[in-house]
Chain A
Amino acid sequence: MTATAIEVNCATGEVTERSLTAAEIAEREAMAAEYAAQKAQEEAEAAAKAAAKQAAQDKLKGLGLTDLEIAAITGA
């Protein structure tokens, strides 16, 4: 799909479809790269959080707590 911009001129009502300018393409690429980095960071943080939660639950189990008791104190 070729990237196009839709421009609506509110004064005339004219709607124009045009190719993106070089500046718009550069901005779009930067935005996509920023988003990919942000998404990777969020996924890494979520994975670390899930791993820490599992490790904590395993330690509680090692102390002899049941699943029900673990859920009661962690809300999990």
Chain B
Amino acid sequence: MPNTYQVISSVTVGSGGAANIQFTSIPQTYTDLILQVSARTDEAGANWSEGRITFNGSSSGYTNRYVLGTGSATSSGSVGTAYVYGGRGTAAAATSSTFSNSYIYIPNYASSNNKSISTDEVTENNATAALAFFNAGLWSNSAAITSITITPNTGNFVQYSTAVLYGIKNS
């Protein structure tokens, strides 16, 4: 692991579950951030749940453009403006004890420019219905990112869901 790729903080959800996960007081000493999420939710009757990311507690100024495959179909679209996609979880109808994987890159998070975000996510299921999802997002805000909140669109993250925040330095 290069020393420019450092764990800032990590968390594993306990037995009580979590409605959201928040990283606060993010140091401003890195160039970029990477957020990796392995998650499962308790949403009944679904194979996956949306994950939604907001910065600094803000619920405005976001745009998204995505492409996805479900195992039986593909689609693309856009959504906004209250969040960016990220941190999706495998849900309760999928094979038990399987979790999603999300890789979320946030360059120049400390700058005064708008913040871009790219997301690469897959859910797991020992069946056809699993999701591959790519998203490009933007938060049109000049504030440096000091906190990140990850929220499933419905339900809770279940035990053993994990989120790790990395800092990337350019030297």
Whether B19 contacts A10 by the Cβ 8 Å rule is no
Give how many A-B residue pairs fall within 8 Å (CB-CB). Answer: 68
Question: Is there a chain B Cβ closer than 8 Å to A4's Cβ?
Answer: yes
**Known contacts A31-B151, A35-B154: does B25 contact A6 (CB below 8 Å)?**
no
In the bound complex, what is the Cα–Cα distance between A32 and B46 (angstroms)? 14
Q: Which residues of chain A have C-beta atoms less than 8 A from B22's C-beta?
A: 5-8
Closest chain B residue to A29 by CB distance? B154
Chain B contact residues (Cβ within 8 angstroms of A): what range? 20 to 34
Interface string of A31-59 (1 = CB under 8 A from B): 11001100000000000000000000000
| Chain A residue total in the interface (Cβ 8 A) | 23
The stretch of B8-16, B101-109, B136-144 that contacts the partner chain: B8-16
What residues of chain B have their CB less than 8 Å away from a CB belonging to chain A? 8-11, 13-14, 16-27, 42, 50, 52, 59, 151, 153-154, 156, 165
What residues of chain A have their CB less than 8 Å away from a CB belonging to chain B? 1-13, 15, 17, 20, 24, 27-28, 31-32, 35-36
